[in-house]
Every structure is written in C-alpha cells, then in structure tokens.
Amino acid sequence: AILAAQRRGEDVETSKKWAAGQNKQHAITKNTAKLDRETEELHHDRVPLEVGKVIQQGRQSKGLTQKDLATKINEKPQVIADYESGRAIPNNQVLGKIERAIGLKLRGKDIGKPIEKGPRAK
C-alpha cells in the first residue's frame, strides 16, 4: 500500500521505530557500565548470605535441585546459584518468585519464616 501510494506521487509519512527488528537485548546499558566501574567505595548491594542459606534450606526441604527451582520460577539455574552463594544483586521480582516457590520469606525483618497464605487481591 505504501509503495502504491508512492508510485501515484502521494505524500507518504513514515517513521522509524527505535531498534525495530534488531536484536538489542545485549546492548551495554548505563547499569552495565556502572558495574564495570565498580570499586571498593562504589559497590552494588549483594544478597546477604543469610538469604542464600534460607533459599538453599527451603529448596532442599521441598526436595528441589537448583535446576528444578530455576525451572519452576522461569529463571536460569545460574541465577539460583548466584542467589544462594550471595553473588547476586537483589531483584525483588526474582526474590518474590523464589519466596512463593519455597514458601519462606526472603525480604523484610522475618527472613526464613513461612509465608502466610491470605486472600489475594483481584
């Protein structure tokens, strides 16, 4: 339709969408650059080892391997390994998924306590 309109000599307005049709998911972002410049004074918070141990204990109590837990929450097994070892930068979405999968709190004051199942908001 656009080519036909151009052939007839009509005005055609087109706009380029940013990064349309390109694989830009691996582009370097500002956060990546910050991580590269990380020094002793400027460092990113990591998951506390206490949280890593709670994840590991909860996972083992449910009889799950790191790979099983990762599959259950739609993440890579390396993500679980990083969280358990305390190397990961905390992400609330991932922590929430792990909390629901193992049934233990990982955020707030009562880390390691079971999650109370209450009515969900719609």
pTM value?
0.61
Q: What distance in Å separates the CA atoms of residue 7 and residue 39, rounded to the nearest whole number?
A: 59
For the chain, give the percent of residues with pLDDT over 70: 70
Contact 113, 54 (CB under 8 A): no
Output 11 or 41, whichever has higher pLDDT: 11
Q: Is the dihedral of CA 65, 75, 98, 108 positive or negative?
A: positive
Compute how many other C-beta atoms are within 10 angstroms of the C-beta atom of residue 27: 9
Residue 82 pLDDT greater than 80, yes or no: yes
All domains of the chain in start order, with CATH: 49-112 (1.10.260.40)
Instruction: State the amino acid at position 10 in one-letter form.
Output: E
Nearest to 45 by CA among 119, 95, 113, 117: 95
What is the C-alpha separation between 88 and 27, in angstroms, rounded? 20
pLDDT at 25 over 80: no
Q: Which of 41-45, 46-50, 59-63 has the lowest mean pLDDT?
A: 41-45
Tokens at residue 96, please? 């929430």
Q: Tens digit of pLDDT for each residue in 89-101?
A: 888 899 999 999 9
pLDDT(70) > 70: yes
Q: Tell me, what's the pLDDT at 3?
A: 84
Tally of CB atoms within 10 A around 77: 14
